Amino acid sequence: DTGVSQDPRHKITKRGQNVTFRCDPISEHNRLYWYRQTLGQGPEFLTYFQNEAQLEKSRLLSDRFSAERPKGSFSTLEIQRTEQGDSAMYLCASSLVNNDGYTFGSGTRLTVV
């Protein structure tokens, strides 16, 4: 297992389009997290899963955002009707339940034009 993989690395989309990102966590990790990061800021929590169950979703997260982890393995994050303010780095991380440290992917950089 080579770590957490995210696809694509970069995505440029026009405002109003839908985009979907994929994250493949470390196979033994049952927790998976999505974060958003803008320039000069720390990662902002979006949502997390334990196995296939979505345990928490940030109150700051608009209804345009949805995440799934259908079989408790990979996860997808979809943004509908993208806005310029959605431009950011979207980071995925995974961990064991005891959360002794996250392993992050390299992120997907989204640019909405």
Partner 1 sequence: SQQGEEDPQALSIQEGENATMNCSYKTSINNLQWYRQNSGRGLVHLILIRSNEREKHSGRLRVTLDTSKKSSSLLITASRAADTASYFCATDQGGKLIFGQGTELSVKP
Q: Is 45 in the site for partner 1 (CB under 8 A)?
A: yes
Pick the binder of partner 1 from 19, 77, 91, 112 (CB under 8 A): 91
Whether the CB-CB separation of 33 and 92 falls below 8 Å is answered with: yes
Whether the CB-CB separation of 37 and 106 falls below 8 Å is answered with: no
**What x-and-dash track marks residues 50-89 binding partner 1 by CB under 8 A?**
x----xx---x----------------------------x
What is the C-alpha separation between 91 and 12, in angstroms, rounded? 16
Query: CB of residue 86 vs partner 1: minimum separation in angstroms?
Result: 18
Position 89: which residue type? M
Q: How many CB atoms lie within 10 A of CB 92?
A: 29
**Which residues of the chain form contacts with partner 1 (CB under 8 A)?**
4, 31, 33, 35, 40-45, 48, 50, 55-56, 60, 89, 91, 93, 99-107, 109
